[in-house]
């Protein structure tokens, strides 16, 4: 069979052997995975970055990114319940569009998840550094930032990435339970932030509402600004739900658990983002807090709540690692699925006694820690978005292709108005992709060019379907 026409059939995952994952997660665990991933750097850190690009109009940026993600989430819910196995968009593309496209999607997902881990680690470092300085710890500034910020290495970011790697190696259910507890801590902290900032709400901070316009336009300083430009960046904050689909093979009741986890976490978190962003903008002019690496804690300190600011920052330090945990979990499952299919060295898909694919978890942790220690937050986030947008497009297309090719397959969840939702997901993602910085798009194309070469030299020959 030619590699250009290879497609996997819709089949259940292996039920035995050392390449099998164990079903240990219920819908509360999956819901917590989604909330743990979605409510993270986007609200604690990128709120400031995005406000600097859109002004008060960043609220509409959240709404725009959330709408695109809602369409994509419906497509993910159908595909993940129809194919409850590890791999997410990579697996869906393999069945719907063939091996070559699946490889490109999988290669992009490797970039997405690894880079997200690094981005959140950098965001966590900003809060941890602030707490250490407030506590009187004299850490050399060269060890709190990478070379881009005149430092040597972002040591806290490296540290937390490796700690999370160790937690994931303990076991899937154990790490999911820790994630559940830390998510509760995170939500309590955000509730406290809203309660303390609302009394200082000033409507004047919302005028002008969109000082940089609604489209993505290049400003005199060479930076793309506007509501759409900010949406392309904070889109990063919304896509934790796709990590849930990577756990499909470990869900106890995929049909019910995945549907609740993906759709429920998406809509709950969108509401939380809108409320917190509104409270932040009402309490402080966006130009004041947008430059801070810890904008929520900065706002609380400016309002005369230094103790609560320390608590919120502390909650971020404690809870932001849940995002790293979820995405590192997802990346390891993508890597695992590709290795099990033979497109990467098959020994990487080995699963230990605790049900953890240890080789890929360790590899992900090491690579993510290096990126986190050396690269800046905004550039990392934009590059991760490119990979995610491609995955969303692939999932929507795969859903539409399978509706046409195999309309009678069992689908525990069916995307409503699929003929409308699917194209809207594709068009929305293409639009957001066009708002990304040109350098991001170029780097993304370079990454995938390297990926195609790797596939042609290795995956094309080693694939399990090569001899079929």
Which residue in this structure is represented by tokens 């990063």? Answer: 236
Residue 280 contacts residue 290 (beta carbons within 8 Å): no
Please compute Rg for the chain using Cα positions.
Answer: 21
62-116 residue pLDDT tens:
888 888 888 888 898 899 888 887 788 999 999 999 999 999 999 988 887 887 7
Cα–Cα distance for residue pair 280/276, rounded to 1 Å: 6
Residue 15 contacts residue 163 (beta carbons within 8 Å): no
Residue 3 contacts residue 101 (beta carbons within 8 Å): no
Give the least confident one: 123-132, 325-334, 439-448.
123-132
Which residue in this structure is represented by tokens 């940089």? Answer: 212
Question: What number is the average pLDDT over the span 187-199?
Answer: 87
- Helix then strand then coil, in percent of the chain rounded to 5, is 75, 0, 25
Residue 198 contacts residue 276 (beta carbons within 8 Å): no
Please choose, from the candidates 35, 400, 391, the residue with its C-alpha nearest in 3D space to the C-alpha of residue 185. Answer: 35
Cα–Cα distance for residue pair 319/194, rounded to 1 Å: 17
Please choose, from the candidates 382, 463, 30, the residue with its C-alpha nearest in 3D space to the C-alpha of residue 240. Answer: 30
Parse the chain into domains and list their residue ranges. Answer: 27-462
Give the tokens for residue 195: 């309660």
Compute the residue count for the chain. 468
SS3 25: strand
Angle (deg, nearest 10), helices 265-283 and 295-302: 40
pLDDT at 141 over 80: no
pLDDT at 130 over 80: no
Residue 179 contacts residue 326 (beta carbons within 8 Å): yes
Of 39-48, 208-217, 456-465, the range with the highest mean pLDDT is: 456-465
Beta-strand pair 217-218/224-225:
antiparallel
Residue 82 contacts residue 322 (beta carbons within 8 Å): no
267-291 residue pLDDT tens:
788 788 888 888 988 988 888 887 7
pLDDT at 376 over 70: no
Residues with Cβ < 8 Å from 95, sequence gap 6 or more?
Answer: 7, 8, 9, 10, 83, 398, 402
Q: What pLDDT was estimated at residue 64?
A: 82
Cα–Cα distance for residue pair 400/407, rounded to 1 Å: 10
pLDDT band at 423 (very low <50, low <70, confident <90, very high): very high
Q: What pLDDT was estimated at residue 468?
A: 60
Exposure class string for 100-136: b at 16+ Cβ within 10 A, else e? bbbbbbbbbbbbbbbbbbbbbbbbbbbbbbbbeeeee
Q: What pLDDT was estimated at residue 152?
A: 79
Cα–Cα distance for residue pair 466/172, rounded to 1 Å: 32
pLDDT band at 455 (very low <50, low <70, confident <90, very high): very high
Query: Between 256 and 17, where is the model more confident?
Result: 256
Which fold would CATH assign to domain 27-462?
Amino acid/polyamine transporter I (1.20.1740)
Cα–Cα distance for residue pair 206/457, rounded to 1 Å: 55
318-351 residue pLDDT tens:
767 877 887 888 888 888 889 888 898 888 777 7
For residue 225, give the H/E element and its range.
strand 224-225
């Amino acid at each position: 069979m030619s590699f250009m026409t290879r497609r996997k059939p819709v089949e259940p995952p292996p039920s035995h052997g050392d390449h099998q994952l164990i079903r240990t997660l219920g819908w509360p665990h999956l819901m917590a995975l989604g909330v743990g991933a979605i409510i993270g750097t986007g609200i604690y850190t990128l709120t400031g970055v995005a406000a600097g690009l859109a002004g008060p109009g960043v609220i509409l940026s959240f709404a725009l990114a959330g709408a695109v993600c809602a369409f994509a989430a419906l497509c993910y819910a159908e595909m993940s319940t129809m194919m409850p196995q590890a791999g997410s968009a990579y697996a869906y593309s393999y069945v719907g569009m063939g091996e070559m496209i699946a490889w490109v999607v999988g290669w992009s997902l490797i970039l997405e998840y690894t880079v997200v881990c690094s981005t959140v680690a950098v965001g966590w470092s900003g809060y941890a550094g602030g707490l250490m300085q407030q506590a009187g710890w004299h850490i050399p500034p060269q060890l709190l930032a990478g070379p881009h910020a005149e430092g040597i290495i972002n040591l806290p970011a490296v540290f937390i990435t490796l700690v999370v790697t160790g937690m994931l190696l303990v076991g899937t259910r154990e790490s999911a339970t820790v994630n559940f507890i830390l998510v509760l801590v995170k939500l309590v902290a955000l509730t406290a932030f809203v309660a303390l900032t609302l009394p200082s709400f000033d409507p004047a901070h919302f005028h002008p509402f969109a000082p940089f316009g609604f489209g993505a336009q290049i400003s005199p300083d060479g930076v793309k600004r506007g509501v759409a430009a900010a949406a392309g960046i904070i889109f990063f904050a919304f896509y934790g739900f796709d990590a849930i689909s990577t756990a499909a093979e470990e869900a106890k009741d995929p049909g019910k658990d995945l549907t609740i986890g993906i759709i429920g976490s998406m809509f709950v978190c969108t509401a939380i983002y809108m409320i917190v962003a509104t409270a932040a903008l009402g309490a402080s002019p966006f130009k004041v807090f947008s430059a801070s690496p810890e904008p929520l804690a900065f706002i609380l300190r400016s309002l005369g709540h230094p103790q609560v600011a320390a608590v919120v920052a502390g909650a971020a330090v404690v809870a932001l690692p849940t995002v790293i945990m979820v995405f590192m979990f997802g990346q390891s499952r993508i890597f695992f699925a590709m290795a099990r299919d033979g497109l990467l060295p098959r020994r990487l898909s080995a699963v230990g006694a605790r049900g953890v694919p240890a080789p890929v978890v360790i590899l992900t942790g090491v690579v993510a820690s290096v990126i986190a220690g050396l690269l800046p937050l905004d550039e990392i986030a934009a590059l991760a978005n490119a990979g995610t947008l491609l995955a969303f497009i692939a999932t929507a297309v795969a859903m539409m292709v399978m509706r046409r090719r195999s309309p009678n397959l069992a689908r525990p969840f069916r995307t409503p108005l699929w003929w409308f939702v699917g194209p809207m997901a594709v068009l929305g993602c293409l639009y957001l992709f066009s708002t990304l910085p040109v350098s991001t798009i170029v780097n993304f194309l370079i990454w995938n060019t390297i990926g195609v070469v790797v596939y042609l030299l290795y995956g094309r020959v080693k694939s399990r379907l090569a001899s079929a």
